[in-house]
A and B are shown apart, each in its own frame.
Chain A
Amino acid sequence: MKKITALFVLAGFAQFAAAADVVGNAQNAKGKIEMCIGCHGIPDYKATFPEVFRVPMIGGQSAKYIENALQAYKKGDRKHPSMRGIAASLSDQDIADVAAFYSQQTRTADPK
């Protein structure tokens, strides 16, 4: 049991280290947000399947939250089908870049 615990602890560190290596870059996101803007770039755009609702405003949300949300879709902790498909296609670096981009978006401007 002790060995297993140690393994888990090590695995935890490994995950932490991997996460720490990835730094989001809003500039690099510009080629990666095409998939996002089709919905999240259109004011009041509505998702239609499996439920009808306006997709969330993500501009101005914190990078950490956006990153967590995308990782949750990728992992399957969040199960919305379209977002699962999109998040699964993104690398950890893509996710960090997209998160950086939208966290820096304001009402009037895109990140410089």
Chain B
Amino acid sequence: MNKLTLKLTAALSCALWSSAALAGGNVAAGKALTEKYSCFACHGKDFNTPIDPSYPKLAGQHPDYLVHALTAYKRGDAANGRNNPIMVGQVKPLSDQDIKDLAAYLASLPGSLTQHR
């Protein structure tokens, strides 16, 4: 273990830690929540192959967007909400921390989504 490797490891773990901290979510807790609430039943086991094309791929999506979307379903018909009946039902039991954890886990998964011109 030379100095460079040590430095790189330190830098990498800082980067990993800060990206997790930015999202404020816990990946392991999020994984457990996807199992508890069977998110995969519609969005697919790898969260990149939904069972129906009308459902979104979630793997690798920006965690802050996922937090926004899940929170919007919590608001339902109110301002800045979303009223999709399935998702409104799904998010009902979730706390704000649960939502952050779910977002952190889903964002950590390898996916095929992209954003460029």
Contacts and interface: CB of A to CB of B under 8 A. Distances in A.
Interface of A: 37, 40-45, 50-65, 68-69, 72, 77-81, 105-107, 110
Given A41-B116, A59-B116, A64 B80 contact: no
Interface SS of B by simple majority = loop
A57 B117 contact: no
Contact of B55 (A59, A65, A78, A106): A65
A82 B65 CA distance: 15
By size class, the interface of chain B is 20 to 34
Interface of B: 50, 52-57, 60-62, 64-65, 67-69, 72, 78-84, 111-117
Given A55-B65, A79-B79, A61 B117 contact: no
B114 A59 contact: yes
A106 B84 CA distance: 28
A104 B78 CA distance: 33
27 contacts: A37-B117, A41-B116, A42-B117, A50-B79, A51-B68, A53-B67, A54-B65, A55-B62, A56-B113, A57-B60, A57-B114, A58-B113, A59-B116, A61-B57, A62-B57, A64-B52, A64-B53, A65-B54, A65-B55, A65-B57, A68-B54, A72-B82, A72-B84, A77-B82, A79-B78, A106-B114, A107-B112
